[in-house]
């Protein structure tokens, strides 16, 4: 089992490196995810009308297997920071875990600096909203309600408490994109969020906002692996029916 895991990671790593280094002649074409198209528009609109963007990275510790979702959220936050660095109101990013709040501060600062607007960065833009799931949600709700937020983006690992944030956003008539790796949270967000993302769509958000080569390669690797898994499942079904396993 260890060898299969190592082989899968090795194959993915080689494929990712190869696809990142190959220069494509034409831009990559992906299926349309309407939620991400609307997110791009909401980000631009917030800069135009001088409102704030709110980003929540969830509550997963980076030391656990759920840590990839907030990492994807931080990638998205970087693009948002770059695109909104000259906005009248800087975006606010919160984490339900202390290390996430610190990384959010660092990511926002890096985004501002890369656009030559480092002096506009405000340290209080990256915040710790709470140390438990519900306290984190309770700490984030007043930000959506009171700080002139026009778009809220929940990208990370949440529980069902994400529905409380979706409810506040809806009451404020604010755009809300909800993406979580937790199954229960995805169900809650499907019912309550204006724009829910399901499953691996969360990890595609950065690529849709800014199609850098590594992000495009990452999506291609996911597609290749998905087809390999589908083939493996079908082979398993055939072998089972044939009585060979």
Partner 1 sequence: MRYIAVAIAIIAGLIVLIGYFVPALAGVQGILLNWAIILAGVAALVGVFNLISVHGDKIRRREKGNIYSAILLISLFASFIFGIALGPDNPNMRLLVSAVIVPVEATLMALLSVTLLYASVRLLRRRTDLMSVIFLLTAVFMLITSAILPFFGVSPLTDLILKIRQALPLGGARGILIGVALGTLTTSLRVIFGADRPYGGK
Could you count the other beta carbons within 10 Å of the beta carbon of residue 224? 14
| Positions of E strands within the chain | 52-58, 92-95, 126-128, 149-157, 175-180, 195-197
Q: Which two tokens stand for residue 96?
A: 């339900």
Output the smallest distance, CB 224 to partner 1, in A.
Answer: 10
Query: What is the residue-wise DSSP string for 149-161?
Result: EEEEEEEEE--TT
Output the smallest distance, CB 68 to partner 1, in A.
Answer: 4
3-state secondary structure of 122: coil
Residue 172 as a binder of partner 1 (CB under 8 A): the answer is no
* Site stretch for partner 1 (CB under 8 A), options 25-33, 41-49, 125-133, 235-243: 125-133
Residue 106 as a binder of partner 1 (CB under 8 A): the answer is yes
Q: Please report, as residue ranges, which positions from 197 to 216 form the binding site for partner 1 (by CB under 8 A).
A: 198-200, 202-204, 206, 214-215
User: Between 65 and 84, how does the x/- string for binding to partner 1 read (CB under 8 A)?
Assistant: x--xx-xx-xx--x------
Question: How far, CA to CA in Å, does 67 sit from each of 43, 93, 147?
Answer: 25, 17, 28
The residue among 22 and 131 lying less far from partner 1, judged by its C-beta, is 131
Residue 236 as a binder of partner 1 (CB under 8 A): the answer is no
Residue 175 as a binder of partner 1 (CB under 8 A): the answer is no
Residue 56 as a binder of partner 1 (CB under 8 A): the answer is no
Q: Which of 175, 194, 208, 209 binds partner 1 (CB under 8 A)?
A: 194
Query: What is the residue-wise DSSP string for 169-197?
Result: HHHTT-EEEEEES-HHHHHHHHHH-SEEE
The residue among 48 and 65 lying less far from partner 1, judged by its C-beta, is 65
| Closest CA relative to residue 97, chosen from 156, 143, 154, 151 | 156
Residue 93 as a binder of partner 1 (CB under 8 A): the answer is no
Residue 30 as a binder of partner 1 (CB under 8 A): the answer is no
Q: Apex CA 93: angle with CA 123 and CA 212, to 5°? A: 105
* Site stretch for partner 1 (CB under 8 A), options 38-46, 48-56, 83-91, 99-107: 99-107
Output the smallest distance, CB 209 to partner 1, in A.
Answer: 13
Total residues interacting with partner 1, rule: CB under 8 A: 78
Residues 6+ apart with CB under 8 A from 146: none
The residue among 43 and 188 lying less far from partner 1, judged by its C-beta, is 188
Report the C-alpha gap between 126 and 75 in whole angstroms. 15
Residue 123 as a binder of partner 1 (CB under 8 A): the answer is yes
Q: Which two tokens stand for residue 47?
A: 């800069």
């Amino acid at each position: 089992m260890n060898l299969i895991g190592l082989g899968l990671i090795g194959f993915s790593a080689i494929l990712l490196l190869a696809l990142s280094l190959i220069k494509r002649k034409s831009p990559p074409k992906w299926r349309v995810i309407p939620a991400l198209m609307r997110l791009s528009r909401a980000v631009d609109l917030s800069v135009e009308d001088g409102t704030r963007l709110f980003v929540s990275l969830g509550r997963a510790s980076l030391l656990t297997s759920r840590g990839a979702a907030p990492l994807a959220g931080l990638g998205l936050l970087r693009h948002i920071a770059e695109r909104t660095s000259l906005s009248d109101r800087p975006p606010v990013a919160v984490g339900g875990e202390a290390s996430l709040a610190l990384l959010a501060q660092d990511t926002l600062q890096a985004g501002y600096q890369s656009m030559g607007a480092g002096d506009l960065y405000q340290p209080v833009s990256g915040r710790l909203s709470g140390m438990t799931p519900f306290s984190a949600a309770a700490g984030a709700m007043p930000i959506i309600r009171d700080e002139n937020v026009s778009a809220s983006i929940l990208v990370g690992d949440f529980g069902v408490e994400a529905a409380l944030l979706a409810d506040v956003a809806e009451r404020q008539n604010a755009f809300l994109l909800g993406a979580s790796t937790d199954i229960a949270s995805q169900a809650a967000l499907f019912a309550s969020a204006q724009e829910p993302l399901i499953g691996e769509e969360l990890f595609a958000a950065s690529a849709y906002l800014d199609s850098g080569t590594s992000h495009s390669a990452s999506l291609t690797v996911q597609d290749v692996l998905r087809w390999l898994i589908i083939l493996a499942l079908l082979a398993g079904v055939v072998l089972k029916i044939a009585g060979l396993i």
